[in-house]
Amino acid sequence: MNWQLLSASTSNSVESLHADLNKTQQERDNLLRKVAELRMQKENIGSGSCTALNSEFSWQELQQATENFSESLKIGEGGFGPVYKGSLRQTMVAIKLLHSQSLQGITQFQQEITILTKVRHPNLVTLIGACSEESALVYEYLSNGSLEDRLTCANNSPPLTWQVRARIMSEICLALIFLHSNKPQLVVHGDLKPANILLDTNLVSKLSDFGISRLLNLPDTNSTAFLETTCPIGTFAYMDPEYSSTGILTPKSDIYAFGIIILRLITGKPPVNIANQVKDAVGDGAFGSVIDVLAGAWPFEQTKELAMMALRCADISRSKRPDLVNEVWAVVEPLMKAAASCVEPCSLGEKNIPSHFICPIFQEVMHDPCIAADGFTYEAEAIKWWLESGYKTSPMTNLEFADHNLICNRGLRSAIQEWLQQHPQS
C-alpha cells in the first residue's frame, strides 16, 4: 500500500514538473518570437522607413557631429536615452540615442519614425533622419529648449509673457486637433507634457517625443477610438487617471494632459495637485491669487474662463472632458487673438519681430503674405507648397479648406515693408 502511495505521489510530481517545463518552454518560445519580430522590425526600418526620410546617417557621422557625444553638447535625457546637439551636414540638429539593447527602445525607435513620417504639421517637431545601425534619431534643433525649461526659468531665462503663453496654448490645441483627426489613422500622443514641447527661436512650440504615441483606426461610427494595454506608460502628473487604472488610451487622454498644461501656463505652478489648487481658488473667489503675475497682466475674465475649461479637460472622468474643436478651441482662440492684438514681439535670434509678421508654416518673416480660406495669413510660397503637396486641410485648424483661393494681404505686406525699412539691420 505504501509503495502504491509513493508511486502515485511520484507520478503526480513528474506530471507537475512536465507541466511546469512545458509552460516555461512556451514562455521562452513567445519571448524568442517577440525578439525576432522586433529585430525584423528594426531591419525593416533600416531598409524602408529611413528611405522614406531620405536621410540615413552613419554612426560615424553622428559621432563627428557631437564630438563623440561630448557631455558639453548633451541637451537632455529622456526615458529611453540622451539627446545631444550637433552639427550634421552643415545643419544644427538634435540627436536622440535610444537604448538599442532594450526591447522598448527598439519599439520606440520604430514608433517615432512611423508617426513622424506619416504626419506633418507646423507645430510638430521635424524628423530629419535616423541611424538604424545604432537606433538614433535626428531632429531639427530648437534653440529655446523645452516649455518645461521656460516655465521653470532654467538657466535664468526670463518668464514667458502671457501673450506668448496664450499663443503656445493655441499651437498645442491646433496640433492635437490635427493629430486626433488625422486620416486614415488618428494619433494619440500619450505623453503630452511641457518637457515634450519644444520651442524654436521665435518661441513657437512643437510637440516632440512620439515614441509611446499610438496610431488608432478611426471608428466607422460615433464611438471613440481606443487602445487597450496591460502596461500604461506615461508621466504621472499628466497621465489620464482612467488610462492609468484601466489601460485604455483614447484621444481624451491627451485632453487631460492638455488641461494640466494650460493650468501650468496660467499659474506657473508645478503640476502635482494643480487642478485642486485652481478649483479651490475659484471656489473661494480668489482666482487672481493663483495667476502667474510674472507673465504680465492677463485679461482676467478670459483667463478665468480658460482655467475653468482646463479644469474640465483635467476631469478624472473621461466622459466629462470637453471636445477640442467645439469647446476648447472656442475658449483658446479668443485669448490667442487678444494676445496677438497686443503685438507682442517674438525673438528671432537677436531680432525682435512682431509675431503676426511670421509665416505659420515657414516660421520666417513674410514677404508676400496671402490670406487662405481658413482666415489665416501665410507666405504665398508656403501655402502654395502646402496645397500642392496634397493637403486638403488647414495647417492651423485641420479643418478642410472651402476652396484654394488666396487673397494678397496688401495691408500686412505694407506694414512688414515699413517695419523692415525702420529696422534695416533686422
CA distance 129 to 113: 9
Residue 297: name the closest of 338, 240, 327, 251 by CA.
338
Active site residue 240: no
Could you tell me whether strands 227-228 and 214-217 are parallel, antiparallel, or unpaired per DSSP bridges? unpaired
Q: Which of 20, 149, 191, 280 is catalytic?
A: 191
Q: How far is the CA of 126 from the CAs of 209, 233, 247, 368, in angstroms? A: 11, 24, 29, 25
Residues known to be catalytic: 191
